[in-house]
Homo-oligomer: A and B are copies of this chain.
């Protein structure tokens, strides 16, 4: 527990600090320049609320500015460079000086969060990073503040807008390649989209949320993630038929004495709050027995939206300091989690195949909730939804099915997430 957390509920001391708040800006790309504009535009409003007017005291770009000079002058440092170095070094120096740090850098927080949190605890500096996850959706604020004593049990998130855009296009009938090309043309996907489509970006964001929700340090190595590149139009058409939505879902949850953090494509029933999130939007659902569930959704990215989240952090750092994340808890990461599954099995078109397949699943303790047979001859396949089972059982059963003479290729499995509260 940090000494800085202990305070009376009285409002802050009434000594008026006149003048300006010196803001040092690191990075002047899309978000950095949007932030600079927004800061100038909203300065009078911020003065109204804080008694002081914020103004840039220096901007560091690749070609100009000195970090040391900016840090000397700044009261708040806004880090929008991205990547690990030199962002990490700048962030640590800022916090070590006890100066407020606002960052949108998910890579840095995912890889070196503990170092930053510890630096903030040591100096009592403000550390805010709303824009690092889910853009302008205030999920970090809500988890750190509103729900910090709500004993959270689970966080589900659609935290990558690129893949959600691609899946929305695929649900409308496009192939993966067509949808990706459209996302690139619309500026939602980069020329090299691998960080997004492999689930890696979402995994880093879920690691950050898991740390805040459960207190457990999670790095990318602790997150099992799977992307959307292998999804087939078939999967999307079955989704439609069963009234399911196919999304790239991140999950962080308590499981007994451990936690699990994972990202993979998942089918959602129509009444799940994430099922209707479409296009480049993000959304996060937070669950606990006390609050039932809260869902927040909105644009996941965009220069101006991200800048607005950064500015909200800046204002809060000035008016409502919060304690840094507490020292980490150590809980084991659970690999073998339970889920219902959609299972797509290409089979020989002859009597008795369903009985054979069902027999293998039954032998692995997996029971079938619904099954339909589709196609004829060389195109015959079984599409099933199972009841909840452990992933290890599903994998063993899939391997056994793949060895059957009547099964033509390795079965495809996709998790199915059921809404618990509707």
Contact residues of A with B, CB < 8 Å? 1, 3-17, 21, 38, 42, 45-52, 75-76, 98-100, 124-126, 130, 136-138, 141-142, 145-151, 271, 273, 276, 278-279, 288-299, 302, 304-305, 307-309, 311-312, 315-324, 326, 421-422
Instruction: Indicate whether A295 sits within 8 Å of B298 (C-beta atoms), given known contacts A52-B6, A98-B10, A321-B320.
Output: yes
CB contacts (< 8 Å) of A136 on chain B: these are 290-292, 294
**New A-B pairs, 9, CB < 8 Å, besides A48-B326, A130-B146, A294-B296:** A6-B15, A6-B50, A7-B12, A7-B319, A136-B291, A146-B316, A147-B312, A148-B312, A288-B308
Who on chain B is nearest to A17 by CB?
B6
Known A10-B126, A11-B323, A321-B12; contact A294-B297, beta-carbon cutoff 8 A: yes
Q: In the complex, which of the residues B17, B51, B76, B292 contacts A305, with contact meaning CB atoms closer than 8 Å?
A: B292
**Closest B-chain residue to A322, C-beta based?**
B320
Q: How distant is the Cα of A273 from the Cα of B277 in the complex, in angstroms?
A: 8
- Shortest A111–chain B CB gap in Å is 24
What is the CA–CA distance of A49 and B4 in the complex, to the nearest angstrom? 10
Chain B residues within 8 Å of A294, by CB: 136-138, 296-298
Chain B hits for A308, CB < 8 A? 150, 288, 290-291
Partner of A8 from the list B17, B149, B291 (CB cut-off 8 Å) is: B17
Can you pick out 29 interface pairs between chain A and chain B where the beta carbons lie within 8 Å of each other?
A: A1-B47, A1-B48, A1-B49, A4-B13, A5-B51, A6-B16, A6-B17, A8-B318, A9-B21, A10-B100, A10-B126, A14-B124, A45-B151, A49-B323, A136-B290, A137-B294, A138-B147, A148-B315, A149-B312, A149-B315, A150-B312, A273-B297, A279-B422, A290-B304, A291-B299, A291-B305, A293-B299, A294-B297, A295-B296
